[in-house]
Structure 1
Amino acid sequence: MRRRPSAATAAAVLALLVLLALAAPLLAGLTGQDPNAYHDDLVDSARGGVPLGSLGGISADHWLGVEPGTGRDLFVRLLYGARISLLVALGATAVQILVGVAAGLAAALGNRFAGQLIGRLTDVMIALPMLVLGIALTAVVPADFPRTLLLILVIGLLSWGGTARMVRAQTQALQGLDFVAAARLSGNGTLRIARRELLPSLAAPVITYAAIQVPANIVAEASLSFLGVGVKPPTPSWGQMLSSAQTWFRADPLYVLLPAGLLFVTVLASTVLGDAVRTALDPREGSRLRIGTGKEAAA
């Protein structure tokens, strides 16, 4: 991966975004801005709340301008929005990987009835429209339930089907190999074989799949927040900011472009890094990349 400039650049971009998100309270204190503090004196009420000044009210105090209508500092809100978007994406990925790995192993190692039952359930979960179900579930849950945790659970529990199918197929392929047969002949039970023999061999494809799922979960969180069923105001998220920015596109284009640009860069960097992880952990892919480079002889 170090030899691939695209992977190194993607990793550096993601590391910078995570660092900025973690340092959001520190940077907010440095700029002296609160993400939820209104500044009515920074917007033109006669024009419907358009920020005063050029480029959305950019100044020494407000580095990226202010939010139309409220005057809240846009730089600080983008940082706090990154915390929500990244936390939900990583948390949902962890949930779907844990559930998917457990379901896939149970389907592959269980009896025929259990395998068919989990297989049909997996097919149903893959076929269900995740976004529609997510809207329905987040709309009926009580308002006092933590929205960030709710988004993590909804996205993770509705999208584990692909992980389960992949783990089941990989496990069935591994069961025919000699080291698994030797462990079974040695008297090891199913759980011990799964823990000591199968899980280490499943690590590479699971990590690869998780890396690819992170950008998909970022988009899912942004979509739910954009539709108004994500985190509730005044807690910021990039999807929520895009939703409220629809009516301000002509008056303040920067208010739309900043969260959209950050969302695009994050998803692009995550996708590139996920593809690099897949290539690095797949020996066959690495062999194909070496063809014609003069490295196949050395390999």
Structure 2
Amino acid sequence: MSIALERSAPAPGAVPPGAGAGRQVWRRVRRRPSALAAAAVLALLVLLALAAPLLSHLTGQDPGAYHDDLVDSARGGVPLGSFGGISADHWLGVEPGTGRDLFTRLLYGARISLLVALGAVAVQTAVGVGVGLAAALGGRFAGRLIGLTTDVMIALPMLVIGIALTAVVPPDFPRPLLLILLIGLFDWGGTARMVRAQTLALRGLDFVDAARLSGGGGTLRIARRELLPSLAAPVITIAAIKVPTAMVAEASLSFLGVGVKPPTPSWGQMLSSAQTWFRADPAYVLLPAGLLFVTVLAFTVLGDAVRTALDPREGSRLRVGTGKESKA
């Protein structure tokens, strides 16, 4: 009896699924000032991206409007004025060669980068969880076949395939959707491996056996009602870590010309066109590169904080070391 209870008991400090799990994770996350700062940066970025049309209207600048009078044609299109043409009308200067407003283009570029990153992570999480569960619950032959397929998908070079797709994908196909599908469908291998390993460890525990013996339903019902709640913590953790990876992938694909096409702005596309202007207008390179760096860093710090908060050992450390977990 003692052995059975030990196998079925949750790890000390683990965050159980339920209504209070989110509050418990938040209490642990907010103890880290770096995580709060990262969350504040991301909240501000999302707010600015959502308010891009409003801010564009308030500033009176259209991200696609050309201003030839703001660039020096004699010097190849370098913005007039200092620091890339910063002025009361153009808060961050203008784009070399075109004179388009950089502030509004960065805001609209943030919408593309966030949309693609979050959409790609949603796709790869859904596929990875489904494939991982199928590999763990589908029998030995199915497990080996799915495992081999997962290894092949991990080994495929996404950037090379993305470049090749530009030759076959119709030009009118929505590029943000193409990026979401490309990144999501070629980056689910790590999630699938993790879910398979966790499911293999969970399916032999007593609560799964009890659900099976009590007639709780077939494999799909047990996976949905018993296994998925227990997999929520590691899945959320790996999804949070995948967001900055997806942002870098979107920027890389856009830099290589696979992403959105002009005049739709994106940070990766701006970096691609900025490489010829680095010496003449460093601000045009530093602004999108700096925003991408700060955003990826904020997602990474927040993802690490969520991982730590969902770690069972963190709960044990907090209770034994400080005694604050039960008082929060």
Shorter-chain TM-score bucket reads over 0.9
State how 1:1-299 maps to structure 2 within 5 Å: 1-187=29-215, 188-288=217-317, 293-295=321-323
The amino acid of 1:165's aligned partner reads R
Gap change, CA 1:288 and 1:140, over 3 Å in 2: farther
Q: Distance in 2 between matches of 1:266 and 1:66?
A: 22
Shift in Å, 1:282:
1.0
- Following the alignment from structure 1 to structure 2, what is the Cα–Cα distance between the partners of residues 175 and 200? 13
User: C-alpha separation between the residues in 2 aligned to 1:163 and 1:178?
Assistant: 25
Report if aligned partners of 1:130, 1:158 keep a CA contact under 8 Å in 2: yes
2-structure distance, mates of 1:137, 1:160: 19
- Give the count of matched residue pairs: 298
Matched residues in 2 for 1:226 and 1:182: separation?
A: 53
Alpha-carbon distance in structure 1 between the residues aligned to 2:61 and 2:247: 26
Asked if the contact 1:139/1:229 (under 8 Å) is kept, the reply is no
- What are the Cα deviations for residues 95-124 of structure 1, in whole angstroms up to 9, with x where unaligned? 000001010111111122211111110111
> Does the 8 A contact of 2:113 with 2:247 survive in 1?
yes
TM-score, length of structure 1 as denominator length: 0.96
CA contact (8 A) 1:82 1:238 kept: yes
**TM-score, with normalisation over the residues of structure 2?**
0.88
Shift of 1:295: 4.0
Do the aligned residues in 1 keep the contact of 2:128 with 2:188 (CA within 8 Å)? yes
Q: Shift in Å at residue 144 of structure 1? A: 0.8
Higher-RCO chain (CA-CA 8 Å, sequence separation at least 6): 2
User: Structure 1 6/139 Cα, relative in aligned 2: closer, same or farther at 3 Å?
Assistant: farther
Offset of residue 189 of structure 1: 1.1
Give the AA of the match of 1:224: L
Letter in 1 for 2:306: V
Structure 1: give runs of 5+ residues left out of the alignment: none
Q: Deviations over 1:223-271 (max 9, x none)?
A: 0001111111111000100110011111111100000000000000000
**What is aligned with 2:11?**
none
Q: Report if aligned partners of 1:94, 1:156 keep a CA contact under 8 Å in 2.
A: yes
CA gap of 1:297–1:275, structure 2 versus 1, over 3 A, is: closer
Q: 1:297 to 1:256 in 2, by over 3 A?
A: closer
Opposite residue 253 of structure 1, the aligned amino acid is P
Structure 1's 235 and 298: CA in aligned 2 closer, same or farther, altered over 3 A?
A: closer
Task: Report SS of the residue matched to 1:247.
Answer: coil
Which 5+ residue runs of structure 2 have no aligned equivalent?
Answer: 1-28
Retained in 1: the 8 A contact 2:318–2:325? no
Q: Which amino acid aligns with 2:218?
A: G
Decide whether the 8 Å contact of 1:212 with 1:274 is kept in 2.
Answer: yes
* CA distance, structure 1, for counterparts of residue 325 and residue 73 of structure 2: 71
Question: How far apart are the structure 2 equivalents of 1:143 and 1:89?
Answer: 22
**Contact 1:138–1:151 (Cα < 8 Å) also in 2:** no
CA change 1:18–1:278 in 2 (3 A) is same
Percentage of identical aligned residues? 86
Task: Give the aligned residue type for 1:148.
Answer: P
